Amino acid sequence: MSRTYDVQWAEVAVADLEELVDFIEREQPGAAAPVIDRLEAAAQRLETLPLRGRVVPELARFNIRLYRELIVRPWRILYRVGNGRVLVVAVLDGRRDLESLLLSRLLRKE
């Protein structure tokens, strides 16, 4: 029997989903639900194979290998694995520059 991990969502990742819903609904009313369903289903599959995602390449360049990602085009689900759980930390638009997104997120906190 394989080990099962508890998949949890950080508050900031939940906020990412809410922003995503707002954006999609403005552009194409009624289209957000299938996108959110795909993202949540992909994250939930991490409960059995949490290392299936790749190490985030932009972070690996700085020798940060704690974070992994799943690609659900065009979105990127960033997460980390530890202590029997998977913590989803962000859902980002893969068409945007990750370094700029993370920097603006860090600056927004201050």
The rounded distance, in Å, linking the Cα atoms of 61 and 18 is 30
- Domains of the chain: which residue ranges? 6-108
Burial 64-73 (b: 16+ CB within 10 A, else e): eeebbbbebe
User: In the predicted model, what is the mean pLDDT of residues 18-46?
Assistant: 96
The rounded distance, in Å, linking the Cα atoms of 66 and 59 is 9
Cβ within 8 Å of residue 43, ≥6 positions away: 7, 9, 70, 77, 79, 86, 88
| Residue 8 banded pLDDT, cuts 50, 70, 90 | very high
Tokens of 102: 């993370």
Report the chain's mean pLDDT, rounded to a whole number: 93
User: In the predicted model, what is the mean pLDDT of residues 53-75?
Assistant: 95
Report domain 6-108's class: alpha beta
| Residue 2 banded pLDDT, cuts 50, 70, 90 | confident
Is the predicted pLDDT of residue 109 greater than 60, yes or no?
no
